[in-house]
Amino acid sequence: MLLELDGVKSGYQGLEILHGIDLTVAEGEIVAVVGANGAGKSTTLKTIVGEVRCSAGSVRFDDREVRGGRSHEEARRGLVLVPEHRALFGSLSVEENLRMGRWARRGRSGLSEEEVYDLFPVLVQRRHQLAETMSGGQQQMLAIARALTGAPRLLLLDEPSTGLSPKLTWDVFHAVRAVRDRGVSILIVEQNAGQVLELADRAYVLESGSVVLDGTGAQLAADDRVQSAYLGT
């Protein structure tokens, strides 16, 4: 397995948010974590990259344990998080943001800027546009594109559809599938269960810091509990 979470507990300032999470991502998979606000989805991603320390259990990436407080080192190993707020350099152009992504490569061969533009053609004509002047969907694509220039092995996406229209969400998810087809494994957390379950090979449902269901994307999309709670059917 590329990523393994085994009995992971974590939280903030003594408050436990995750209560023994088990989760895996294999090479070449798109794995989704769905759940409502406050379920612990973002905390899961932050724990995986080491921004939040485990109080129990373990996180292993590429057969090595992730140690808390060293997210920059994990990025250089190929474990890269695109946060919900995107963390772009707003006063820099698209092209300059992409160049900033290269620092994490550490000898690995990442996608070139031209390959990234092939994946995200909407960025081509905006190469010299400042990131802060772009639409939400364009900024989300730029955030993913910048991460790809850093040669990730596993890309973690935190709520990439936040603030986007259904059409733009589809565009972003279509790009995510294309990224996987380039050999990058993906773990994506989302409230938008309907579209992300169509995208995912496997998925987990997180409620109040615990995994309550898991299976293929299709299995969870057909589950009565998921349909009632997250799909409005």
pLDDT digits (tens, 9 = 90+) for 94-123: 999 988 877 655 555 667 778 888 888 889
pLDDT tens per residue, range 13-67: 989 999 999 999 999 999 999 999 899 999 999 999 999 999 999 999 999 999 7
- 46-51: long-range contacts (C-beta < 8 A, 24 or more apart)? 46/81, 47/5, 47/8, 47/10, 47/18, 48/3, 48/5, 48/79, 48/81, 48/156, 48/187, 49/74, 49/75, 49/79, 49/81, 49/156, 50/74, 51/81
Going along the chain from its start, the domains and CATH numbers come out as 3-88+155-230 (3.40.50.300)
In the structure, what pLDDT confidence band is assigned to residue 69 with cuts at 50, 70 and 90? low
pLDDT tens per residue, range 147-202: 888 888 999 999 988 888 888 888 888 889 988 998 899 999 998 888 899 999 99
pLDDT, residue 92, reads: 92
pLDDT, residue 86, reads: 77
pLDDT, residue 26, reads: 97
